[in-house]
Amino acid sequence: MKIGSEILYLSKNHISSLNVEMSVVISLLEESFLEKAKGNVDALAKIELHPKRDDNFINAMLCSFPKFNVAGLKWISAYPGNREKGLPYISGLIVLNDQETGFPMAIMEAGILTAIRTGAVTGLSAKYLARKDSQTVAILGCGVQARTQLEAVLAICPEITTVKTFDINIEAIDRFAQEMETRFKVRVEKANNPQQAVEGSDIIITAGPILTSPDPVIEGSWLKEGCFGAPIDYDSYWRKSGFEAADRIYVDDVPQFESHRKMGYFSTVPTVYGDLADLVSGKISGRLNDSERIMAINLGLSLEDIAVAALVYDRALKQGLGQLLPV
């Protein structure tokens, strides 16, 4: 490929065919957050637009990553109403630029990469914060994200045997259960309500839509001693008591998290303990004992997207995948 005269386009199918291993992505993100801890990455907080002044949003996420010789932008939307139109909730593109010349060198579909990296960052958090002997995981919201979330925690906590699920869409639960039992050989239990799924679970993942004015349900009294919570849907599912029940709360990036507080999110979340860069570098502690209730609120940071996009770009070039477009 000739940088400056050609751009590599990678579709969802191109990326899927690469079969990027979740364990590889988790290790890549651990390496990436170590680079951030050293001050070697510029990862800007999300720029969030609400074009219709409602729960639909579009984010611009920018990162410069010298280690991989790339800079990049993810332009990603989340429109909850798309499901009623037969369209994905998440859609977008990633543009990668060559850091030496500034020329764009790749454009790729962002939905599948978002699902992979969102699962991987939960897996990375679980490596430091979940009990290693975790056996039961609750997943609330059985869409695309739920699948990569389960894949990631299974990569870190292989003793998991039971998945308790809840979704307001019964058909979504049935599809998820069938797919996950076949793929991962776990037992999927279909809960009648969120409380039934959460109570007794070692890991609780909420993967519903992100809402600006949510009606949360998870109470602190539902949380098992020693559990690990991962709300990837911001504060949409968790009540104030749920957040306050955590002994410590971690995020993927403190400045970005605090910028979202100013937007109106996370008004019921106590002061956070620290972020992933400090955690993986050893600056702050992770889980100290098996009785702590710990939570990781990972909003999704641009370095996660651009690191994974750089990996995908490199693999696609080596395998001759994608479509070259003239500039």
pLDDT exceeds 90 at position 83: no
pLDDT exceeds 90 at position 2: no
Give pLDDT tens digits for 17-30: 999 999 999 999 99
Look over the chain and give the mean of its residue pLDDT values, rounded to a whole number: 97
What DSSP character marks residue 240? H
pLDDT number for residue 148: 98
Q: 278 and 190, same structural domain?
A: yes
Question: Average of pLDDT values for 131-160?
Answer: 97
Q: 207 and 99, same structural domain?
A: no
Q: 233 and 311, same structural domain?
A: no
Which segments of 14-56 are extended strands (E)?
A: 42-43, 47-49
Phi, psi of 278 (to 5 degrees): -70, -35
Please tell me which residue, 105 or 327, carries the higher pLDDT value: 105
Q: 308 and 295, same structural domain?
A: no
Domain count, the chain: 2
Q: 221 and 319, same structural domain?
A: no
- 262 Cβ neighbours under 8 A, 6+ residues apart: none
CA distance 84 to 61: 27
Q: 308 and 288, same structural domain?
A: no
Identify whether 123 is part of a domain.
no
Note down the domain range covering 101. Answer: 6-113+303-326
Q: Which amino acid is at 169?
A: N
Greatest pairwise CA separation for the chain in angstroms: 59
CA distance 170 to 219: 23
pLDDT number for residue 144: 94
pLDDT number for residue 288: 96
Q: 257 and 231, same structural domain?
A: yes
pLDDT number for residue 1: 82
- 217 Cβ neighbours under 8 A, 6+ residues apart: 194, 195, 237, 239
Residue 64 belongs to domain with CATH number: 3.30.1780.10
pTM over 0.85: yes
pLDDT number for residue 78: 95
Cβ neighbours around 327 below 10 Å, total: 11
Q: 268 and 212, same structural domain?
A: yes
pLDDT number for residue 24: 98
Identify whether 118 is part of a domain.
no
Out of 35-39, 63-67, 125-129, 209-213, least confident range: 209-213
Residue 202 belongs to domain with CATH number: 3.40.50.720
